[in-house]
Amino acid sequence: MKLSPQWIRDFVDLSVDDRRLADDLTNSGIAVEGISGEGSKTVFEMEIGTNRPDAMSHYGVAREAAAIYGLSLKPIQTTIPAGKAAKRIAAEPQAPPTFPVEIKDPQGCARFTARVLRKVTVKQSPKPIIERLALLDQRAINNAADATNYVLWEMGKPTHVFDLDLLEGGKIIVRRARDGEKLKTLDGVERTLTAEDLVVADAVKPVGLAGTMGGFDTMITDKTRNILIESAWWDPVTVRKMSRRHGLHTDASHRFERGADFESTLPSCDRVAELILQSGGGELGGDPVDVVARWLDQAPVGLRMAEVHRILGNTLDTNQVVHILQRLGFEVLPEPDREPEFTVRIPSWRLDIECEIDLIEEIARLHGYDKFENTLPSFSGSVIETPDAAKDRKLRSMLLALGYDEAVSLTFISHNDAQDFCAVPVVEIANPLSDEASVMRTSLVPGMLNMLAYNLNRGSGEVRLFEAGNVFEAENAAVAELRRICLGASGSSVKPNVHQPARPFSFFDLKGEVEIVLDLLQHDALAFDAQTAEYYHPGRSARAVMDGATVAQFGQLHPETAAKRKFKQDVFIAEVYLDRLYQHGLREVRYETLPRFPAVERDFSFVFADTVKFDQIRQAVTALDLGELHSFVPVEIFRGGAVPAGKYSLLLRATFQSNERTLREDEVARWSALVVKAIERTGGTLRTS
């Protein structure tokens, strides 16, 4: 997500520049992945962990910055004339002082806070609000909708506004939907609801999908004059299931799925009201309605200094530990002569703190991991290597020597990726983080393509990566884990210099590297054919078959797959099936003396149809079983000129050599004749000129 450092500075007086702030936040666990823009238009690209919804806002990050630098955090204060407005509205018989709210599902909705605004003018938001939202790629709509969006990014609390005059029956009911009920959401889609859906409803119909998206029929328009503001606490599991069921992932559901601050409903409701009144005029319709169906109170956590020292060492004393926790908003209560020594009360926004080790992690990250000494834990056992450890080391060492860097991707992929890259029964994740990570990976290719795209999109045009890991397939009630290695490459094979021009990485570069890797294992025969998956480029991909078993497939990514993933340069992928490859032992390196007798070379020029592959030619010559045939390789290929269309000319070189004697000319001539006849049987025509 994007956040503005200038907006963060509204809540804490920072003396450091933006780059230093980004580095310090990252080191404390609130990652800034990138910085764009300059001055007041600077934007942080943030990577906030799913366990830290409290940091998914400017105020949340400002709270972290205040703790890091030991500064005071400015509170978000609202200035709304509650008393005056309440009296004025109460004096009007047709306007009730409050708007009734009924919660029929306390498990799904623990708290619902609402405010009524009357005589509001809906119009364009003030320029500062529009500009701040635009920095975060948020489109301005109107001053009422923008106020909820602004508060979302300021405080991290999703809210919603309804056209009060379009709510029927004069009340709000939070309930489960009835099977078959319809709700047209703000995106214009009419959705059929089930009894598993939690909705905000008026006395007649649903008007919003709880924690996910509001209803189309009660949205704010230019005709709106009276507004109801909603700020509620929704159950994360309920919102997550609804979001997946309806295919709706919104900024609101993203936060509610991870847990909202129970105590933030009233402040956020007041903040939205303040922003709307400032821009659109109007008046408050009485005091806020704050209905609590059940109280959420996190249990305090005990903290022992002995456990802190056991995990972190004796670097920190008691005063430092207490000070760090207080800076983070925890209330630390000493327990004299008791075990544990401290009881720590957890602030309402820190839903991720559940036990003692969580507190110790907070102490460590704020103190700074770089300030702890590098020590190894004591170990009295023995290390047992896996049966294939030596093979793993050999392959990794070779790939590193070939210029590949090892990378690690998520073991979760989407259903679409599982279908596109390996259509086998998938292993579903019970509570996925998102639809893009809903099943265990069935292939390493999607993760590799994501990592290649990440590098290429950030200006790294020369990329060589490999990943070793497991893929997963469902087998009835069990799960099969299969070992794989995936290679990814893009860019140049030869970089330009004063001696040679650049040469782009090609299929043949990848084929050579795959052959080098496969040659580390003992085998009798290694052949290649064109039987590869559909996501490979036809004619620029191959399958490797070792002693009758497929051990790898590799080649250029299919143009359609590359276009779908928006690659702007050629990308090459190789998949090595380790569970099959490791059935072979490592090749033993043996010393051979240099030959004492000279080698004899003979060249043969043949014309072949385009359908004839070199592997066919090689197999025909190998079948002769000539002991003195030391090597047989293609030297030059030519098309055009005197060579007819649909055919090509190939120059082949055979090398004959004996370790026991000097070869005679008549022997070489006889063997050469056998080679020529074998090649002719494959469809080749010997060129005489």
Dump pLDDT digits (tens) for 275-314.
999 999 999 988 899 999 999 988 999 999 999 999 998 8
pLDDT at 386: 86
* Cβ–Cβ < 8 Å for 97, 283: no
pLDDT at 625: 93
If pLDDT is split at 50, 70 and 90, which confidence band does 81 have?
low
Q: Where in the chain is the domain with CATH 3.30.56.10?
A: 2-69, 301-369
> Whole-angstrom Cα distance, residue 1 to residue 572?
30
pLDDT at 169 over 80: yes
Q: Where in the chain is the domain with CATH 3.30.930.10?
A: 389-581
Poorest-pLDDT segment among 516-530, 533-547, 586-600, 634-648 = 586-600
Alpha-helical regions (H) of 195-257: 236-246, 251-256
Geometric angle at alpha carbon 250, from 248 and 251, rounded to 5°: 165
> Whole-angstrom Cα distance, residue 284 to residue 147?
16
CATH topology of domain 389-581: BirA Bifunctional Protein; domain 2 (3.30.930)
pLDDT at 90: 35
pLDDT at 89 over 50: no
CATH 2.40.50.140 fits 2-69, yes or no: no
Per-residue model confidence as pLDDT tens digits over 53-62: 999 999 999 9
- The whole-number average pLDDT for the span 321-339 is 92
pLDDT at 1 over 50: yes
- The whole-number average pLDDT for the span 607-612 is 94
Q: Where in the chain is the domain with CATH 3.30.70.380?
A: 600-686
- The whole-number average pLDDT for the span 578-584 is 95
pLDDT at 615 over 90: no
pLDDT at 98: 67
Hey, which CATH number is domain 301-369, 3.30.56.10, 3.40.50.300, 3.40.30.10, 3.20.20.70? 3.30.56.10
Per-residue model confidence as pLDDT tens digits over 116-134: 999 999 999 999 999 999 9
For the 600-686 domain, the top CATH level (class) is alpha beta
> Whole-angstrom Cα distance, residue 259 to residue 565?
32
Report CA-CA distances (Å) from 436 to 91, 236, 237, 441, 457: 54, 19, 18, 11, 20
Question: pTM, whole model, 2 decimals?
Answer: 0.63
Give residue 247's Cα distance to chain centre: 19
Q: What's the chain's average pLDDT?
A: 92
pLDDT at 80 over 60: yes
Q: What percent of the chain has pLDDT over 90?
A: 82
Burial level of 656, CB count in 10 A (0-12/13-18/19+)? buried
CATH code of the domain occupying 82-292 = 3.50.40.10
Q: Where in the chain is the domain with CATH 3.50.40.10?
A: 82-292
